[in-house]
Amino acid sequence: MSILWLCVGIAIMLVLNIKFKWNSMLALLLAGAVVGLCNGMTPGHTLESISKGFGSTLGSLAIIVVFGAAIGKLMVDSGASNVLASTLIKKFGVKYIRVAVAIIGMIFGIAMFYEVAFLMLAPLVISIAREAKISWLSLAITGVAAATISHSIFPPQPGPVALIDAYNADYGTVYIIGIPMAICMLAVGGFLYPRLIGKFANADRPVPKFMQKDEDVVIDNPPSFAVSLLVPLSPAIIMISVTICNIFIDKESMLGQWLNFFGSSQVAMAIALVLAFLLFGTRQGHNMDWNMNCFSSAVQSIAGVVMIIGAGGAFKQIVLDSGIGDYIGKMMSAGTISPYIMAWLIAVIIRLATGQGVVAAMTAAGIIVGAVTDPATGAMIAGVNPALLTLATASGANFLTHINDASFWLFKEYFDLSIKDTLKTWGGLLASGSVMGLAFVMVCSIFI
């Protein structure tokens, strides 16, 4: 019956979210309470489990997510994002302009809140296409695919951070495996897919209404290209470097402890934020009030996402404490389905139903983590790699979305497309990349 009540809980969450337009945080909390109570947990135990899951999740993730949003805001307001874009375009030229757009999209997706990354990338792509005299829609598919892929699988973005915490994966390992995976996903969703719909994507289309009277905001003193690139990528550089150092250095030694202190996700993000304050703010002539205004604005924009992550953690804890995870684990051990496929598939179903990647990722993680974790030690069972499980779930949470996703409408309205054409472009680039991500994980699971 435990699986039945889990399904009932998920159904309640979906109905409240989709039909009655409840906030995802409230829907997740109520669904978690229903699952716990119906599985025999006492009211007190249920409340304790929800509080524990909510608090422990935010305790480890809130700093990372908020600092990441602040860095993205500072990057936009200082003009660093424009510097990155214009420089890469000049270096690559028209012949390799699609590669330049993909790099820009990747960087924007890692560094910024998704809507910000999209709204910066979209007009830039159209301007580039007009100047290069190529199809803007085909180029937009590449750019948006790059931003969406990097946003969905790399910290410090909310979904990946929450998954890494849920599966107790290593940040550096996720980056090391995730980078080639992202390249493969981009090759399929951003480069191959536009070719498959070639005539449609390359058709001569009028410039979207948002760009017909485009006026650029002039920033007097933007940072250099090197600085603009260093700051958003610094957390990844720090965490990857420490992961590599751990191969050669004893983690328990004094040097190892200090290295892992600076390589922890929270400290790496704090270092990047300080760099952003100094290099995007103070060095460019902005005072501390400007820095703090950017920070406050970022906190306000990300607050809702942070609360949804906390509610997802509460749902996960209910699944663990009610014993559902152990039950699923027994089912998996009795069958032949891979935990990577199961994690991907659950995330896909919830993403299709809710249209929200973070909700899909956290709900899938809550269902899977108990099934693949040894309750005695808290470690992953033999044969399951936490980093690969993180990437499989992230790929599923980045699957096709439709009219229940705000990003779907953002893509549709900005590029002035019909719903059918939006499904063909936005939906196709996501679905093809997501399937490629799962394929990459399954191949890696043979060797890792």
Residue 68 sits at φ, ψ, to 5 deg, of -65, -40
Beta carbons within 8 Å of 419's beta carbon, 6+ residues apart = 403, 412
What was the pLDDT predicted at 303? 85
Domain count, the chain: 1
What was the pLDDT predicted at 257? 94
In the DSSP assignment, the letter for residue 277 is I
| Residue 392 Cα distances to 24, 162, 177, 285, 439, angstroms | 23, 14, 11, 44, 9
Q: Residue 343 and residue 311: Cα distance in Å, rounded?
A: 19
| 65 CB-contact burial (10 Å; exposed 0-12 / middle 13-18 / buried 19+) | buried
Residue 20 structural domain: 1-445
3 state SS of 373? strand
CB 46 within 8 A of CB 37: yes
Q: 212, 232, 192: which is closest to 83 by C-alpha? A: 232
Token reading at 24: 């995802």
In the DSSP assignment, the letter for residue 211 is G
What residue type is 93 in one-letter code?
G
Gyration radius of the chain over CA positions: 22
Q: 380, 388, 393, 382: which is closest to 445 by C-alpha? A: 388
SS3 content of the chain, % helix, strand, coil (to 5): 80, 0, 20
Q: 22, 37, 14: which is closest to 318 by C-alpha? A: 37
What was the pLDDT predicted at 214? 41
Cis peptide bond upstream of 156, omega within 30: yes
pTM above 0.95, yes or no: no
Q: What is the pLDDT along the chain (448 residues), one digit of tens a residue?
A: 677 888 888 888 888 877 888 888 898 899 999 999 998 999 999 999 999 989 988 886 788 888 888 888 898 889 887 788 788 778 888 788 899 899 989 988 888 778 778 877 887 787 778 767 778 899 999 999 999 999 999 988 888 988 999 898 999 999 999 999 999 999 999 999 999 998 887 877 776 665 554 445 567 789 999 998 899 888 888 988 988 898 889 988 999 999 999 988 889 889 999 999 999 999 999 999 999 999 998 888 788 878 887 888 888 788 778 877 666 656 655 556 888 999 999 899 888 877 778 888 888 888 888 778 776 666 777 788 999 999 999 999 999 877 667 788 778 877 888 888 888 999 999 999 999 999 999 999 999 8
